[in-house]
Amino acid sequence: MNSKRQSLIVTAGIAIVLLVAAAPAGAQSLRPGPEITSNIPIMPVVGLAKWEAVRSLHKGARTLSPSQPQDCVNGNPEVVGIACGSTTNGQLTTADCSLDDFTRFDAYSFSGTAGQQVTITMTSTDVDAYLFLIDPTGSNDVAQDDDSGGGTNAQIVYTLTQTGTWFIVTNALDPDDTLGSYSVSLTCTGGGGGTCTPDATTLCLNNSRYSVTVTFSTPQGQSGNGMAVTETSDTGMFWFFSANNIEIIIKAVTGCSFNSRVWVFAGGLTNVAYTITVTDTVTGASKTYSNPQGSPSQPVQDTDAFVCS
């Protein structure tokens, strides 16, 4: 089946209670129970646009609205949290909310930052997976997908347009094959979110998330801080003795789609002793890279520097 892109039907004026659970990065669970209660407007019905698409594919979509289980008042689902870098196991059951085509759905939330690229993947051997991505207003379906994950698995790759709480809806395409187990994973790359403040001796890389400083010393006993020169959002340089004499170039880039890590690469043009310190201003994690006195600088190619989040 081809991926479909149509708007969600939103019932205006209905505020629902969302129960959101924060999941630690890397956690895998079976739809963990909610912990936080808040009132957020979100789609009580996701389905007429999908129902029309399913009908056009001769999937036997029904024309009557389904009856909802007691724990799905007005079509409002329970929403649980999913963290960037994690995979959660879920199950579509008769206790879940239902669309107009009688397929059941689950809902998840995550905190996103404008400029982040998210990859959402739903895999299942029981159902033909179907995904929706909903913006923080709860009223706009920004992406839908059926089979982009390979086979009957669904995948959405999308660059977030605003900072806030985004929503994922997991669903099945076929109303005749609507119940079963699945896994949903979320990967987030870029988007900054850090608190780095650049100054004369501090570089702020990767959308201000990573703070970089350098200290140096010479055989004659001279020492100090490297002076920072910003080149791009991901790359910068340092000089020690003269602004015309660059000693180090460094970059921090996201390799999250390859190995779920942020990479640090650096090259030195000196044989004096120095230490580079790179700090993740979100998590507080720090890495150092040193060059011994009198040794030609060796390249830094750290593809395991920081965990993507």
Whole-number Å distance between alpha carbons of 203 and 199? 7
* Residue 55 or 26, more confident: 55
- CB burial readout 103-139, b (16+ within 10 A) else e: bbbbbbbbbbbebbbbbbbbbbeebbbbbbbbbbebe
Whole-number Å distance between alpha carbons of 165 and 146? 23
Q: Write the pLDDT tens digit of every residue in 219-271.
A: 999 999 999 999 988 899 999 999 999 999 999 988 877 788 889 999 999 99
pLDDT recorded at residue 188: 81
Query: Which ranges of 183-302 does DSSP label H, i.e. alpha helix?
Result: 256-259
Q: Side-chain half-sphere of 68: how many Cα atoms within 13 Å? A: 17
Amino acid, single-letter form, for residue 209: R
> What is the number of other CB atoms lying within 10 angstroms of the CB of residue 221?
6
Q: Write the pLDDT tens digit of every residue in 20-53.
A: 333 334 444 454 444 333 344 444 445 555 555 5
Least confidently predicted of 5-19, 204-218, 250-264: 5-19
Residue pair 251/183 in contact by the 8 Å Cβ criterion:
no
Domains within the chain, CATH numbers bracketed: 16-189 (2.60.120.380), 203-307 (no CATH)
3-state secondary structure of 67: coil
Q: What one-character DSSP code corresponds to residue 74? A: G
Query: Which ranges of 19-79 does DSSP label H, i.e. alpha helix?
Result: 48-56
Q: What one-character DSSP code corresponds to residue 73? A: G
pTM score > 0.75 for this model? no
